[in-house]
C-alpha cells in the first residue's frame, strides 16, 4: 500500500539545514492500522506530509499503491490525494461558513461525480459518523468531537484507500477522544488502511502496528495485533 | 464548477463584508471615473453615419491669404465662400452634393396662442436629405426646381411639427417665418446624428436645426449669417451682395463620392475649378484642395477635444491606482484564506482549480464594482450634462447598452487581472504548514 525506502528530507534556511527525515524506510500494508509516535521534532509530521503527498522529498523512493510518486506533476499528485488518501487533522480544518453537507462535499467537488452520487456519499458518510441529522449545521454549532467526526466523514466520503490522521484526538477531551478512536477502529475494520500520528501511548497501543520515529528515522517497529477489549479493560 | 465557484465566492465575500465593500468601492470609483470620461469620448468620436461615412467628403478650397495660411502649417479654410459653394453646386460633378449654411428664423405661428419664437435654420440643397439618410415622418425634401427657383419650401423637424401641428401631418401647410410664407414639404422623423458631423465648424455637439430651407434663399431673401464667418480681406463694396461675392468663408460643402475613382475625378474637377478661378484673380495660394471623409474631417476638426482625451487617460490612471489598492486588499483577503486553500489542496484541488475559484471571486467583486461604478458614471454624466447645459446634446453624455456592457466587462476583466497576483501568491503557500497550524 505504502512503501518508503531511504527517504530523506532536509529543510534549509540561509544559515541552517535541518534533516527532518534521514534514511526513513517504512512499509505499510493494506488494512494496517499504524500508530506513529515520537518526541516533538522527530519527523512524524514530515513523514505524514510526505506520505500524504503534501510535501516533496529529497532522496529515496516512495511508492503509493504500486505507483512511484517521485517527480509527478502537481495535477497528478492532486488527483492521487483526491482518490486514494483521506486526511484527518488535529484541528479538524473544517471550512467555517460551509454547513456539514458542504464541508463533506469539498473533496467530492474535485472528482467529476454526479450530484446524485455526491449526495449519496455525503449522506452515507455523515450517517457513519452519526451526524446525518445535522447536515445543515455549521461547524461552530458542533462540539470538538462532533467537528472531528465531520472531518472523518469528509475523509470517508472520498472512499480513500488509506487515511492519514495527524493527532486526531489532540484537541479533544478523553471521552470525545475515545469516541473518535472507536470510529477510526471501525473504519479500519472495514478495510481502510490508517496511519495515525499521536503523542498518546494508550491510543498508539490500540493500533495493530506501532512505530517510533526519532531523529528522522524509524527506531522501533512493532507488529502485534491487540485485543482492543483487553486494552480497554 | 462555475456554479460552485460562484457559491464559494459569495460566501467568501460575506465572510469579510468590510474588506469586500472596500474592494467593491475601489473598483466602483475607478470604473465610475473611467466610464464617465470614456462615454464622453466614445460619443464624441462616434461614427454618426456608419453606412456611408467613407463616401461623404467634406470639400476644402484654399482661397486664403497668399502670405498667411488659414491654419498652420498649410491648412486651407474649413469652409468655402458663397460663390464657390454655389459654383460647385451648379457644376453638379458628384453623385450628390450639398451646399449649406447656418441661419436663424423667427417663426410666426398662425395659431395666435403660440407666441413667435426663434428657430435654428439650415440653408441647404435638395441632396441634403438623401445624402445624409435623413428619415421622414411625412412628405420628403424638395426638388431641383425648388433649389433653382428659390421656392419658399421648408422641411421641419418632428419636434417642431409636434409644437405647431400637434404631431399631425403638416405637409402642404404653410409656415410663416420672418414675414415669408413657406410651404411645408416634409417633416423629418427623429434624426440626431452625434456628433453633428455635417457642420462641425459650428459646433459638433450643438442643438440640431429646426427648419431646413433652400440654400439659394440666402441670396434671394438676404438671410442673416449665423455661425463662424472668417475673412482674410474685406469685401469689395458694401452691402449683402458684396459680402456674398467676397472671400469670406461661411458655408459648408459636401460631396457624395461612392468610390476612389469618383473621389479622384472630383479632386481633378476641384483643381480645374481653382485653376479657372485663378485666372479671375482669385485663389492666390498654390493648389491646396482637400477632400476628407466624415471620420477624417471630424479628426481634423478635433471633434474629440484634447482635454477630453487627457481626462480619459487620467481616469484610466485612476482606475489603475484603484486596482493597485484592490490588489493589496485581495492579498490580505487571500492570505487570510491560506488555511482553506491548504485544506482544498490536501483533499485534491489542483492549483488550476484554485486559481479559477479565486479568479471567479475577484470577477464577482469586479462585477459588483462595475455595477456600482456604472451608477457613479451615470451620476457623473448627469453632472456633465448639468455643467454644460444647452451647449451639449443630452445623448452625448448618456450611457447606452454597449457602454454598460463595456463598463461591466472592464470591471470584471480588470478585477480578474488584479486578482492574478494575490491568487498566485495564495496558491503557492505550502499546504502542509497551514494544515498543522490551523
Which residues numbered 73-102 in A keep a CB inside 8 Å of some CB on B? 74-75, 78-79, 81-83, 87, 89-93, 95-98
Q: What are phi and psi of B213, to 5 degrees?
A: -130, 165
pLDDT single digits (tens) B111-165: 778 889 999 999 999 999 999 999 999 999 999 999 999 999 999 999 999 999 9
CB contact under 8 A, A110 and B349: yes
pLDDT-based confidence at residue A223 (cuts at 50, 70, 90): low
Residue A48, min C-alpha distance to chain B (Å): 9
Residue A110, min C-alpha distance to chain B (Å): 6
Grid cell 479565486 is found at B358
Least confident window among A167-171, B252-256, B323-327, B389-393:
B389-393
In angstroms, the CA B325 to CA B296 distance is: 40
Residue B253 scores a pLDDT above 80: yes
Residue A227 scores a pLDDT above 60: no
pLDDT single digits (tens) A143-168: 888 998 899 899 888 888 889 998 88
Out of A82, A89, A95, name the one closest to residue B348 (CB).
A82
pLDDT-based confidence at residue B311 (cuts at 50, 70, 90): confident
pLDDT-based confidence at residue B438 (cuts at 50, 70, 90): very low
Q: Looking at residue B38, what is its pLDDT?
A: 87
Most confident of A41-45, B9-13, B180-184: B180-184
Out of A55, A90, A106, name the one closest to residue B347 (CB).
A106
Of B385 and A62, more confident = A62
Residue B392 scores a pLDDT above 70: no
pLDDT-based confidence at residue B389 (cuts at 50, 70, 90): low
Q: Looking at residue B376, what is its pLDDT?
A: 92
Q: What is the mean pLDDT of residues B283-296?
A: 94
Residues 6 or more apart whose CB falls under 8 angstroms from that of A83 comprise A111, A158, A160, B348
Residue A20: CB atoms within 10 A of its CB come to: 24
Q: Looking at residue B390, what is its pLDDT?
A: 61
Q: Is A23 on the interface with B (CB under 8 A)?
A: no
Which residues numbered 119-158 in A keep a CB inside 8 Å of some CB on B? 154, 158
Interface A-B: count of C-beta contacts within 8 A: 72
Q: Taking all residues of chain B, what is their mean pLDDT, rounded to a whole number?
A: 90
pLDDT single digits (tens) B4-39: 999 999 999 998 899 999 999 999 999 999 998 888
Could you tell me if B123 and B103 are in contact, meaning their C-beta atoms sit under 8 angstroms apart?
yes
Instruction: Provide the β-strand partners of residue B197.
Output: none
- DSSP symbols for B420-432: HHHHHHHHHS-HH
Residue A179, min C-alpha distance to chain B (Å): 22
Residue A226 scores a pLDDT above 60: no
In angstroms, the CA B375 to CA B29 distance is: 10
Residue A113, min C-alpha distance to chain B (Å): 11
Pick the CATH number of A31-53+73-232 from 3.40.50.150, 3.10.50.30, 3.90.1640.10, 3.40.50.300: 3.40.50.300
Q: Looking at residue B387, what is its pLDDT?
A: 74
In angstroms, the CA B302 to CA B297 distance is: 9
pLDDT-based confidence at residue B374 (cuts at 50, 70, 90): very high
- Chain B hits for A93, CB-CB cut-off 8 Å, are 339, 342-343, 346, 435, 438
CB contact under 8 A, A93 and B435: yes
pLDDT-based confidence at residue B47 (cuts at 50, 70, 90): confident
In angstroms, the CA A156 to CA A86 distance is: 7
Q: Taking all residues of chain A, what is their mean pLDDT, rounded to a whole number?
A: 87
pLDDT-based confidence at residue B46 (cuts at 50, 70, 90): confident
Least confident window among A13-17, A135-139, B55-59:
A13-17
pLDDT single digits (tens) A62-97: 999 888 998 898 889 999 999 999 998 888 889 998
pLDDT single digits (tens) A96-140: 989 999 999 999 999 889 999 999 999 999 998 889 899 999 999
- Chain A hits for B349, CB-CB cut-off 8 Å, are 78, 82, 110
pLDDT-based confidence at residue A233 (cuts at 50, 70, 90): very low
b/e per residue A139-173 (b: at least 16 CB within 10 A): beebebbbbbbbbbbbbbbbbbbbbbbbbbbebbe
- DSSP symbols for B224-263: PP-S--B-SS--SSSHHHHHHTSS-EEEEEEEE--SHHHH
Could you tell me if B374 and B35 are in contact, meaning their C-beta atoms sit under 8 angstroms apart?
yes
Coil, helix or strand for B311?
helix
Q: Is B430 on the interface with A (CB under 8 A)?
A: yes
Q: Looking at residue A91, what is its pLDDT?
A: 85
* Verdict on whether the full-model pTM lies above 0.95: no
In angstroms, the CA B343 to CA B431 distance is: 7
Q: Among B294, B321, B337, B353, which Cα is nearest to B429's?
A: B337
Q: What share of chain B is helix, strand, coil (3-state, %, to 5)?
A: 55, 15, 30
Q: List the single residue in A with minimal CA-CA distance to B428.
A: A74
Q: Looking at residue B335, what is its pLDDT?
A: 84
Q: Is B203 on the interface with A (CB under 8 A)?
A: no
Residue A228 scores a pLDDT above 50: no
pLDDT above 70 as % of chain B:
97
In angstroms, the CA B151 to CA B216 distance is: 9
CB contact under 8 A, B352 and A109: no
Residue A226, min C-alpha distance to chain B (Å): 30
- Chain B hits for A168, CB-CB cut-off 8 Å, are none
pLDDT-based confidence at residue B69 (cuts at 50, 70, 90): very high
Domain ranges of chain A: 31-53+73-232
Least confident window among A137-141, A190-194, B41-45, B352-356:
B41-45
In angstroms, the CA A169 to CA A144 distance is: 10
Which residues numbered 346-385 in B keep a CB inside 8 Å of some CB on A? 346-353
Torsion of CA B192, B195, B198, B199, to 10 degrees: 110
- DSSP symbols for A120-186: HHHHHHHHHTT-GGGTT--GGGS-HHHHHHHHHHHHHHT--SEEEEESTTTTS-HHHHHHHHHHHHH
Residue A64, min C-alpha distance to chain B (Å): 16
| Element at B391 (helix H, strand E) | none
pLDDT single digits (tens) A205-215: 888 899 999 99
Cα of B421 vs its chain's centroid, Å = 38
CB contact under 8 A, A158 and B430: no
Residue A88: CB atoms within 10 A of its CB come to: 24
Q: Looking at residue B237, what is its pLDDT?
A: 85
Out of B353, B430, B438, name the one closest to residue A93 (CB).
B438
Q: Looking at residue B386, what is its pLDDT?
A: 80
Q: List the single residue in B with minimal CA-CA distance to A85.
A: B347
Q: With a threshold of 0.95, tell me whether the complex ipTM lies above it.
A: no
End-to-end CA distance of chain B: 27
Q: Looking at residue B383, what is its pLDDT?
A: 85
Q: Looking at residue B437, what is its pLDDT?
A: 52
CB contact under 8 A, B348 and A111: yes
Out of A91, A96, A107, name the one closest to residue B348 (CB).
A107
Could you tell me if B160 and B210 are in contact, meaning their C-beta atoms sit under 8 angstroms apart?
yes
Amino acid at each position: 500500500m505504502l512503501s518508503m525506502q531511504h527517504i530523506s528530507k532536509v529543510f534549509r534556511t540561509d544559515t541552517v539545514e535541518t534533516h527532518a527525515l534521514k534514511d526513513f524506510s517504512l512499509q505499510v500494508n493494506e488494512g494496517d492500522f499504524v500508530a506513529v509516535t515520537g518526541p516533538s521534532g522527530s519527523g512524524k509530521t514530515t513523514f505524514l506530509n510526505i506520505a500524504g503527498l503534501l510535501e516533496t522529498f529529497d532522496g529515496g523512493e516512495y511508492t503509493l499503491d504500486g505507483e512511484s510518486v517521485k517527480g509527478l506533476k502537481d495535477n497528478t499528485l492532486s488527483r492521487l490525494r483526491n482518490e486514494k488518501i483521506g486526511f484527518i487533522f488535529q484541528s479538524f480544518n473544517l471550512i467555517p461558513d460551509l454547513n456539514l453537507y458542504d464541508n463533506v462535499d469539498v473533496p467530492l467537488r474535485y472528482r467529476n461525480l454526479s450530484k446524485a452520487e455526491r449526495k449519496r456519499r455525503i449522506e452515507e458518510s455523515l450517517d457513519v459518523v452519526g451526524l446525518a441529522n445535522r447536515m445543515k449545521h455549521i461547524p461552530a454549532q458542533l462540539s470538538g468531537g462532533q467537528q472531528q467526526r465531520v472531518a472523518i466523514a469528509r475523509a470517508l466520503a472520498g472512499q480513500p484507500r488509506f487515511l492519514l490522521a495527524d493527532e486526531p484526538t489532540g484537541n479533544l477531551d478523553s471521552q470525545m477522544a475515545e469516541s473518535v478512536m472507536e470510529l477510526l477502529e471501525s473504519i479500519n475494520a472495514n478495510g481502510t488502511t490508517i496511519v495515525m500520528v499521536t503523542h498518546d501511548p494508550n491510543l498508539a497501543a490500540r493500533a495493530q502496528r506501532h512505530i517510533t520515529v526519532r531523529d528522522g528515522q524509524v527506531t522501533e517497529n512493532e507488529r502485534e495485533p491487540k485485543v482492543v477489549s483487553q486494552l480497554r479493560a | 464548477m462555475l456554479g460552485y465557484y460562484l457559491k464559494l465566492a459569495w460566501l467568501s465575500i460575506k465572510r469579510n463584508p468590510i474588506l469586500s465593500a472596500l474592494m467593491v468601492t475601489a473598483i466602483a470609483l475607478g470604473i465610475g471615473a473611467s466610464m464617465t470620461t470614456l462615454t464622453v469620448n466614445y460619443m464624441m468620436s462616434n461614427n454618426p453615419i456608419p453606412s456611408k461615412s467613407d463616401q461623404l467628403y467634406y470639400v476644402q478650397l484654399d482661397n486664403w491669404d497668399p502670405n498667411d495660411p488659414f491654419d498652420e502649417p498649410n491648412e486651407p479654410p474649413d469652409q468655402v465662400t458663397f460663390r464657390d459653394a454655389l459654383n460647385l453646386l451648379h457644376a453638379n460633378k458628384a453623385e450628390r452634393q450639398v451646399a449649406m449654411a447656418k441661419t436663424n428664423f423667427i417663426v410666426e405661428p398662425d395659431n395666435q396662442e403660440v407666441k413667435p419664437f426663434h428657430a435654428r435654420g439650415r440653408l441647404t440643397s435638395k441632396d441634403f436629405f438623401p445624402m445624409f439618410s435623413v428619415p421622414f415622418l411625412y412628405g420628403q425634401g424638395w426638388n431641383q426646381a425648388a433649389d433653382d427657383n428659390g421656392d419658399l419650401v421648408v422641411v421641419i423637424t418632428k419636434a417642431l411639427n409636434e409644437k405647431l401641428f400637434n404631431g399631425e401631418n403638416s405637409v402642404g401647410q404653410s409656415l410663416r417665418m420672418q414675414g415669408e410664407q413657406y410651404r411645408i414639404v416634409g417633416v423629418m422623423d427623429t434624426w440626431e446624428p452625434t456628433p453633428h458631423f455635417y457642420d462641425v465648424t459650428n459646433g459638433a455637439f450643438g442643438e440640431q436645426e429646426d427648419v431646413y430651407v433652400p440654400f439659394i434663399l440666402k441670396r434671394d431673401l438676404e438671410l442673416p449669417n449665423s455661425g463662424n464667418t472668417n475673412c482674410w480681406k474685406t469685401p469689395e463694396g458694401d452691402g449683402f451682395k458684396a459680402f456674398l461675392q467676397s472671400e469670406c468663408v461661411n458655408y459648408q460643402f459636401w460631396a457624395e463620392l461612392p468610390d476612389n475613382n469618383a473621389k479622384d475625378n472630383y479632386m481633378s474637377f476641384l483643381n480645374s475649378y481653382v485653376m479657372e478661378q485663378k485666372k479671375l484673380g482669385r485663389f492666390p495660394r498654390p493648389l491646396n484642395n482637400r477632400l476628407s471623409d466624415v471620420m477624417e474631417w471630424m479628426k481634423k476638426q478635433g471633434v474629440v477635444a484634447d482635454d477630453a482625451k487627457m481626462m480619459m487617460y487620467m481616469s484610466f490612471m485612476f482606475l489603475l491606482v484603484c486596482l493597485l489598492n484592490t490588489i493589496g486588499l485581495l492579498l490580505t483577503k487571500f492570505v487570510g484564506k491560506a488555511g482553506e486553500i491548504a485544506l482544498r489542496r490536501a483533499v485534491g484541488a489542483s492549483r488550476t482549480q484554485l486559481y479559477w475559484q479565486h479568479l471567479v471571486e475577484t470577477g464577482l467583486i469586479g462585477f459588483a464594482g462595475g455595477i456600482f461604478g456604472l451608477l457613479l458614471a451615470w451620476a457623473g454624466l448627469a453632472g456633465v450634462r448639468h455643467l454644460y447645459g444647452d451647449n451639449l446634446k443630452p445623448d452625448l453624455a448618456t450611457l447606452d447598452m454597449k457602454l454598460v456592457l463595456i463598463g461591466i466587462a472592464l470591471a470584471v476583466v480588470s478585477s480578474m487581472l488584479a486578482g492574478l497576483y494575490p491568487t498566485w501568491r495564495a496558491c503557492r503557500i505550502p499546504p502542509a504548514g497551514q494544515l498543522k497550524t490551523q
